[in-house]
Amino acid sequence: MKELNEIKIALNKNAEVVLVTNAVMNDDNDIDSLFLNFFTILSDPLRLSILGVGCLSKQLADLLGTDEQSINNLLESDTDTYTNMLQAKTQELLVNYSEEYAKIVLSDEKNAKNARAILTSLISNGYYKQKVNYLFPSGNQKQEQIVEVKEMIPAFKQMLEIVKRYNDEEFLKKLGV
């Protein structure tokens, strides 16, 4: 993968969260098509953010002190080991390589309502829909999938409480915001 160049968030007519991502690929044979998404609350200004990490083979190689081709070879030959390495390094990847691609600044009731709707959907559905546009030199490929987030529901509930109280200065002060 060359880069993630866009991640957009929306609710569809069924009140499902949809992330639409554009991934620019290096060439038509590029197998590094995986990326990470992460929902979080950030401050200064207070906002619901979608962080992304692309170019996972390159980033894993950097973290492991090896070359990108070795990681791609592992991805092709032993996907279980690759997946285990990716899971073990997810936190480091997010801390070291994530970028903010989408955000809803919690500056007014309209934005807070939109953020609440997104978090409520994630909590009630336990998933979001991921639509990816892979932009290859020879043309585009689209992929859609359901991403299960049931294990993240406790974190989404905490975020929802923050969003509900986005203008409660005393509450935010206790959180260190």
pLDDT at 169 over 90: yes
Whether 168 and 177 have beta carbons less than 8 Å apart is answered as no
Residue among 131, 129, 44, 59 nearest 90 (CA)? 59
* Alpha-helical runs (H) found in the chain: 56-64, 68-77, 79-97, 109-125, 153-164, 169-175
How far is residue 26 from each of residues 4, 33, 126, 135, measured CA to CA in Å?
11, 10, 33, 9
Structural domain count of the chain: 1
- Confidence at residue 81, expressed as pLDDT on a 0 to 100 scale: 94
The rounded distance, in Å, linking the Cα atoms of 164 and 80 is: 40
- Confidence at residue 92, expressed as pLDDT on a 0 to 100 scale: 96
Q: Tokens 């936190």 sit at which residue?
A: 91
Tokens of 152: 């993240």
pLDDT band (50, 70, 90) for residue 177: confident
Name the pairing type of β-strands 36-42 and 99-105. Answer: unpaired
Residue among 113, 1, 138 nearest 48 (CA)? 113
Compute the average pLDDT of residues 91-105: 96
pLDDT band (50, 70, 90) for residue 176: confident
Q: Which domain does 146 fall in, by range?
A: 3-175
pTM for the model stands at: 0.92
pLDDT digits (tens, 9 = 90+) for 100-153: 999 999 999 999 999 999 999 999 999 999 999 999 999 999 999 999 999 999
49 burial class (0-12, 13-18, 19+ CB within 10 angstroms)? middle
Residue among 91, 102, 125 nearest 48 (CA)? 102
Compute the average pLDDT of residues 76-85: 94
Compute the average pLDDT of residues 81-110: 96
pLDDT digits (tens, 9 = 90+) for 14-53: 999 999 999 999 999 999 999 999 999 999 999 999 999 9
